[in-house]
């Protein structure tokens, strides 16, 4: 098994381990994020809107010892699809630069994200607004209900952080979409599991969100890495059965590390690798067909 960087392994295995002090660059990046988050907060409040802060930027404020302790490249906002455009317009009106792929007029929304860039002098920070954290075909996640369960982000009106159970599932979902290649996802999940979440609720919502297989993979990996936050009973609660485990084998080393057996891929190869992780195969197949039709329409429009 190829190990994670030693500091991450130490933090996974020992709840008493102390996170290394952030470098000066990390503190500078945290200051830029704080400025951008305040800008986003003001923009949302001014329009009577709200959004959920998810993944790195949210976890840096809630489960990490300091905002500078969690490295990241962007800020992620999650919004129920019916309000997604209103939030994007609020941020654009506040001065963030909107970047939309003009070569994907039909399929753009199916990618689940819209990118904006926030500026502070010569510094820039990418802000992504998501209507889903899935790519191409969203799972049946009731984001309105997730938002209702969310709590206000510390000192940031208009911004909310999902409950620990919802957030753990969203982090696992994002990791799966990137073929479990993000090292920080393992620490994010471990810290969330230590945050006192209700494992019964976690199992129930994973089934509702069709994330049982994804959770089985991430928890099996954490267990194999020696994470103190995972016990065998929790892994077993997500066991997808013999056939699904067999389907995972060509693509993922479940219980090993690194998890992906193949090189990073896009396009058809990525779709094939994602298929055994989907607990909603019927919806996945129908969604892929719609996406293929949208991409054909994109190419026709480009000509």
User: What is the Cα–Cα distance from 230 to 91, expressed in whole angstroms?
Assistant: 39
Overall average pLDDT of the 247-265 stretch = 94
Average pLDDT of the chain? 94
Overall average pLDDT of the 47-70 stretch = 97
Which pLDDT value is given to residue 110? 79
Which of 1-10, 22-31, 152-161 comes out lowest in average pLDDT? Answer: 1-10
Tell me 124's DSSP state.
Answer: E
Domain encompassing residue 166: 6-302
Is residue 12 domain-resident?
A: yes
Confidence of residue 72 (pLDDT cuts 50, 70, 90): very high
| Token digits of residue 86 | 């209103």
pLDDT tens-digit series, residues 188-229 = 999 999 998 999 999 999 999 999 999 999 999 999 999 999
Please report where in the chains the tokens 């075909």 appear, as a residue.
Answer: 137
Is residue 244 domain-resident?
A: yes
Is residue 1 domain-resident?
A: no
Whole-number percent of the chain with pLDDT over 90? 88
Which pLDDT value is given to residue 105? 74
Which pLDDT value is given to residue 2? 57
Which pLDDT value is given to residue 224? 94
Tell me 261's DSSP state.
Answer: S
Collect contacts of 283-290 with beta carbons under 8 A, ≥24 apart.
283/137, 283/139, 283/140, 284/137, 286/137, 287/110, 287/136, 287/137, 287/138, 288/136, 288/137, 290/110
Residue 47's beta-bridge partner residues?
Answer: none
Q: At what angle do helices 183-194 and 164-177 cross, to 10 degrees?
A: 160
Confidence check: pLDDT of 255 > 70 = yes
pLDDT tens-digit series, residues 164-189 = 999 999 999 999 999 999 999 999 99
User: What is the Cα–Cα distance from 115 to 164, expressed in whole angstroms?
Assistant: 26
Overall average pLDDT of the 237-241 stretch = 97
Whole-number percent of the chain with pLDDT over 70? 99
Contact between 78 and 56 (Cβ < 8 Å)? no
User: What is the Cα–Cα distance from 60 to 44, expressed in whole angstroms?
Assistant: 21
Phi-psi category of residue 140: left, alpha or beta, with phi > 0 → left and psi -120 to 50 → alpha = beta
Is residue 54 domain-resident?
A: yes
Overall average pLDDT of the 98-107 stretch = 78
- Give the count of domains, the chain: 1
For the chain, give me the number of helices (H) and strands (E)?
13, 7
Strands (E), 3-161: 51-54, 74-78, 97-99, 113-120, 123-130, 151-152, 159-161
Is residue 278 domain-resident?
A: yes
Q: On the CB side of 163, how many CA atoms lie within 13 Å of its CA?
A: 16
Q: At what angle do helices 212-224 and 183-194 cross, to 10 degrees?
A: 90
Is residue 144 domain-resident?
A: yes
Overall average pLDDT of the 139-166 stretch = 97
Confidence check: pLDDT of 284 > 80 = yes
Exposed/middle/buried for residue 187 (C-beta within 10 Å: 0-12, 13-18, 19+): buried
User: What is the Cα–Cα distance from 136 to 220, expressed in whole angstroms?
Assistant: 26
CATH code where residue 115 lies: 3.30.460.40
């Amino acid at each position: 098994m190829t190990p994670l960087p030693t500091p991450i392994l130490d933090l996974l295995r020992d709840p008493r381990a102390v996170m290394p002090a952030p470098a000066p660059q990390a503190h500078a990046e945290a200051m830029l994020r704080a400025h951008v988050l305040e800008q986003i907060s003001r923009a949302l409040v001014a329009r009577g809107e709200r959004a959920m802060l998810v993944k790195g930027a949210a976890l840096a404020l809630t489960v990490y010892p300091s905002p500078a302790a969690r490295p990241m490249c962007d800020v992620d906002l999650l919004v129920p699809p019916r309000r997604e455009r209103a939030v994007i317009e609020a941020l654009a009106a506040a001065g963030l630069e909107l970047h939309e792929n003009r070569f994907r007029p039909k399929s753009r929304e199916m990618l689940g994200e819209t990118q904006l860039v926030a500026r502070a002098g010569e510094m820039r920070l990418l802000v992504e607004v998501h209507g889903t954290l899935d790519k191409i075909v969203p799972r049946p996640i009731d984001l309105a209900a997730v938002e209702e369960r969310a709590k206000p982000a510390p000192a940031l009106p208009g911004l909310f952080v999902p409950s620990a159970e919802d957030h753990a599932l969203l982090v696992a979902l994002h990791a799966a979409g990137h073929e479990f290649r993000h090292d920080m996802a393992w620490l994010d999940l471990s810290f969330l599991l230590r945050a006192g979440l209700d494992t019964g609720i976690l199992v129930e919502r994973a089934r509702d969100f069709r994330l049982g297989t994804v959770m089985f993979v991430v928890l099996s990996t954490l267990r194999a890495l020696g994470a103190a936050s995972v016990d065998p009973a929790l892994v077993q609660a997500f066991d997808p059965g013999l056939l699904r485990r067999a389907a995972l084998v060509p693509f993922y080393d479940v219980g090993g590390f690194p998890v992906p057996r193949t090189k990073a891929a896009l396009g058809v190869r990525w779709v094939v690798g994602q298929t055994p992780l989907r607990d909603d195969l019927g919806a996945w197949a129908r969604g892929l067909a719609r996406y293929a039709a949208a991409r054909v329409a994109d190419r026709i429009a480009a000509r």
